[in-house]
Amino acid sequence: MKRLMSMLAFMSTFILLSQTSQAQIRLGIQGGLSVPELSGGNNVISQGYTSRLAPNFGISADIPVAGNFSIEPQVNFDGQGGQRNGMQPITSASLPLPPLPGGGYYYANFKNTSILNYLEVPVLAEFNFRLGGLSLEINAGPYVGFLLSATQKTSGTSYIYLDDKGDPLVEPSGSGVYVPVPPQSFNASTNVNSSINKVNFGIDGGVGLILPVSGVSDLSLNVRGLYGLIDIQRYSQDGSSNTGNLLLDIGYLYTLPII
C-alpha cells in the first residue's frame, strides 16, 4: 500500500507541475475486455493454462512533455489468470486420497480457473501522430501491479486417475472385485492469496486511435499487451508462471482548460 501511495503521489506531483507549465492535460476513464493467460510453468501444476475473459477499467492522465511526446500514467483494475480444462493433477487437499507410491499427483477431468485481480499502475511513454482528423497513439512503459485477490475456482465431476493416461483409482467392492472409486465433485472456490506474490512488475505497450468529439473531449479505442516479469507463485513447489494479457478498451478523454 505504501508503494501505491508513493506512485499516486508521484502522479499527482507530475500533474501539478505540468499545469504550472501551462500544458493541456487530458484526464480519461477507460474500460473494456482483458484476455489474460498464464505462461511459462515448470511443472505439471503450473503448465497447460489457456486464456480466459476478464474486466479491465481505470483512469488516466495524458501529460504533454514536448511536441508529440507525452507521459500517460494510469490506475487500472485488471483481471489476470487463466483456465485449464480436462485431465490435470489434483492439488486440493480436501479429497481423502492415500499418498501415491513414489510421490506424484492423482489426476481428474475437471475445469480449473485461476482468477487473479490486480490494481495496476502503468506509466507509459506516448507518441501521437495526426491522421487527418484522427490521432494515432503509440505507447509503451513499465507497470507495477498490486494483488487484490486470488481465487482458484474448480467445477465438474470426475473419476480419480493414477496418472494422466486415465488409469483409474480402484477400490474393493462388496464382492471382492476391484472397481473404480466413485466420481468426485470438484465444485469449489478456494482463496489462494497466501500462495501468490503480492506485487508484480512488467511491461505494457500498444496503440490507440483518438476520435475528436468536441473541442475538449475525445473518444479513444485502444489495444495493448501486458507481460509480467515476476513469477506469480510464492512457493517453488507450485511452479513458475507469468501473467500476460491482451487489453481491448474504449475510453473518454477530457482536456483540462489552461489555467
pTM: 0.87
Q: Assess whether pLDDT exceeds 50 at residue 212.
A: yes
Q: Assess whether pLDDT exceeds 70 at residue 235.
A: yes
**Alpha-carbon span 182 to 170, nearest angstrom:** 9
Structure confidence at residue 14 (pLDDT)? 52
Structure confidence at residue 19 (pLDDT)? 45
Interior angle at CA 111, CA 107 and CA 117, nearest 5: 120
Give how far the C-alpha of residue 104 lies from the chain's centroid of Cα atoms, to the nearest Å.
29
**pLDDT tens profile 89-118:** 998 766 778 888 777 889 999 999 999 999
Q: What is the DSSP letter of 56?
A: E
- Mean pLDDT for the chain? 90
Structure confidence at residue 16 (pLDDT)? 47
**Alpha-carbon span 12 to 109, nearest angstrom:** 50
Structure confidence at residue 91 (pLDDT)? 82
Mean pLDDT of 204-218: 95
Break the chain into its structural domains and give their ranges.
2-255
Structure confidence at residue 259 (pLDDT)? 63
Structure confidence at residue 18 (pLDDT)? 47
**pLDDT tens profile 1-56:** 555 555 554 555 455 444 444 568 999 999 999 999 999 888 898 999 999 999 99
Interior angle at CA 166, CA 161 and CA 168, nearest 5: 45
| Residue 26 cell numbers, joined | 487530458
Structure confidence at residue 140 (pLDDT)? 98
**pLDDT tens profile 120-172:** 999 999 999 998 889 999 999 999 999 999 999 999 999 999 999 999 999 88
| Residue 37 cell numbers, joined | 493467460
Q: Assess whether pLDDT exceeds 80 at residue 242.
A: yes
- To the question of domain 2-255 being in CATH 2.40.160.20, the answer is yes
Structure confidence at residue 36 (pLDDT)? 97
Structure confidence at residue 166 (pLDDT)? 93
Distances from the Cα of 107 to the Cα of 46, 187, 251, angstroms: 14, 15, 44
